[in-house]
Amino acid sequence: MAANGLDALPEGCIATTLSLTSPRDACRLALVASTFRSAAQSDAVWESFLPNDYMEIVSRSLNVRQFLSSFQSKKELYFYLSHFPLLIDSGTKSFSLEKWTGKKCFILAARDLMIVWADTPEYWRWISLPESRFSEVVELLDVCWLEVRGKIMTSMLSPNTTYSAFLVFTTKSGTHGFDYHAAEGSVGISGEESETRTVCLDPDGAKRYMFQIVPRRMGFFNRHFGVIMRAEEPSSPLNANAEFPKQRDNDWYEVLLGEIYIKEGQDSELEISLTEVKAGNWKSGLIIEGIEIRPKGNTSD
């Protein structure tokens, strides 16, 4: 059909058609003809791309009326949420949209997680970092039992979508105790059996594994017991199937904890966990921002 033929179609008809596609398709089709371009700007089209419950989620942010009034169109709101995560639930979560699909993404802040001994100053310390979107992150000082758990209702996520969960973290001067001791990541419905995967929390873990760097036997001082302990020379449990940290587009790393498919109409509690509880293996240096849950294949911001 020629361009002038497309221009002859009613704009409302074109808008209805565009609303049945995707944000990516709508942006591409806006280049076809002037009528398509006009229809692709309509609130009706971009309202259809926003999640059905977006108003309920946005209402959990601060100054929601002022926030919504700052946008002149639903398209403007859509692209804001796809580029700038919105803090909700008193700043303990962030909400955003996957740019080209409109699927929901969340990060559970460290304060929204269950972290064993997180409020014990000898083991963890709550700090602020300017590079974090949250007001607080938590720094691991020294523990032998690492257990981090996050929960979110599946009804908050986009249906018929495979989600990936990532631990988002950084370090100030490297980590200790994670070099050759893998952690265990898990994602599943609370109360049901879930698959686990081997997780490396050493930012240089992939490099160590690739070049098979093996530590020497050495002693070290444990500040809790005040004694010299003998470090064994472990055979690394890491393998080609282990999940290694990857640098995000900012100052943080992420490591995959697991994946799960969210079904239409599912309303269950989703639990994401990270554990490393080997006896005598003291760990330190990790700074946790939170756990991100986003559609599989979507890259971090």
Burial of 62 (0-12, 13-18, 19+ CB in 10 A): exposed
At residue 38, the pLDDT reads 86
Query: What is the radius of gyration, based on Cα positions, of the chain?
Result: 23
Cα(117)–Cα(148) distance, rounded to whole angstroms?
A: 10
In which residue ranges of the chain is pLDDT below 70? Answer: 1-8, 206-238, 279, 300-301
At residue 79, the pLDDT reads 97
**Any idea where the domains of the chain sit in the sequence?**
3-84, 104-295
Tokens describing residue 78? 């859509």
Cα(71)–Cα(144) distance, rounded to whole angstroms?
A: 49
Q: pLDDT (tens digit, 9 = 90+) per residue, 265-277?
A: 999 999 999 999 9
**Overall residue count recorded for the chain in this entry:** 301
Q: pLDDT (tens digit, 9 = 90+) per residue, 167-193?
A: 999 998 888 888 778 899 999 999 998
Q: Which fold has domain 104-295?
A: Jelly Rolls (2.60.120)
